[in-house]
Amino acid sequence: MPKRYSYITVDVFTDRAFAGNPLAVVTDASGLTPEQMQAIAAEFNYSESTFVLPPEDPSHTARVRIFTRQNEIPFAGHPNVGTAFVLGLLAERSGKTIGSPVVFEEGAGLVPVDLTRDTERRVTGATLTAPQPLTVGKTIPAAIVAECVGLEPTAVLTSRHEPISASVGLPFVIAEVADDALGAARPDARAFSDAARRFPLGTGRFSVHLYARPAGRKGQADLRARMFSPLGGTVEDPATGSANGALVALLASLEPAADAALAFNVLQGAEMGRPSLLAVSAEKRGGSIVRVRVGGRCTPVMEGALTV
């Protein structure tokens, strides 16, 4: 017999509806099979959807499974921020309290997420701590990255670092581009396929995260970014917490001092008409990245139920 499953959608990394990165959260997915979860994620057609399950360890908050339109992934940024916000919102409505940080069990490991509140103690967003240390992989020729995103090779800047794969739970190719080139980037699916064959990242997809340093500080943003993953079903993502976490961790690792801390406000999604603002920080101690955090505001948009 069909069963109803409640869901809430939220826009993540924004304080207004119809901006940021949309997320669907199925608040109690008990009884759903992985195949059903995948079908539901495809039906929502967001970059990711999450499914909340009872934790395997009762000291944790929940087990969370994350699905793109095409497959399950072990970790992602905005799904953690948005799911924590939704659980905090539901606790508020029921008059209950929820501990902070919440701790999610995921494929990449345990993900602690701190809830953020306003002066009236209402939940307004969340900040995650990345589940894995920074790992840096192979460098990718600037010409290859430029071809993937439809830019001239000279638009890819290499004075700070070559384009390189980096991960704090999910790998991305990180590349700096000129400020005036970022808005001109256009993904080429064929070039992405060729690059994925030549430089496999081990995920079945080749995701490129571009960033630029604004020539003049633009509003609240220290960095601007765009993320393209056409092979993963997301031509462009309006806000990518896992990619920006890897970016700032990489930049912190390049600091000459053994101990360093970096914090940036990253603007992403503006070119898509869905501006998102991510607060991202990384700490380095004794030459190693010890903590990466990504946070922002969330706005509820829709609620309903699925019949499966």
| Residue 142, both tokens | 């600037």
CATH topology of domain 4-129+297-307: Diaminopimelate Epimerase; Chain A, domain 1 (3.10.310)
Domain boundaries in the chain?
4-129+297-307, 135-295
Catalytic residue from among 35, 48, 72, 147: 48
Instruction: Provide DSSP, 56-105.
Output: SSTTSSEEEEEE-SS-EES--HHHHHHHHHHHHHHHHHTT----SSEEEE
Phi, psi (deg, nearest 5) at residue 191:
-65, -35
**pTM (2 decimals)?**
0.95
Burial annotation 250-261 (CB, 10 A radius, 16+ → b, else e): bbbbeeeeeebe
pLDDT of residue 3: 95
Q: Which of 236, 229, 245, 235 is nearest to 108 (CA)?
A: 245
Dihedral over Cα of 85, 87, 91, 97: its sign? negative
Respond yes or no: is residue 255 known to be catalytic.
Answer: no
Q: Can you read off the two tokens belonging to residue 203?
A: 């995920």
pLDDT computed for residue 109 by the predictor = 97
What's the pLDDT score for residue 217?
A: 60
Q: Give exposure, 190-200, as e/b (b: 16+ Cβ within 10 Å).
A: ebbeebbeebe
pLDDT of residue 205: 83
Question: What are the per-10-residue average pLDDT scores of the chain (308 residues)?
Answer: 96 98 99 98 98 98 97 96 98 89 97 96 96 96 99 98 97 98 98 96 88 78 97 95 98 98 98 98 98 99 97
User: Is-same-fold flag (4-129+297-307; 135-295)?
Assistant: yes
pLDDT for 203 equals 73
CATH of 135-295 among 1.10.10.350, 1.10.1660.10, 3.10.310.10, 3.40.50.2300: 3.10.310.10
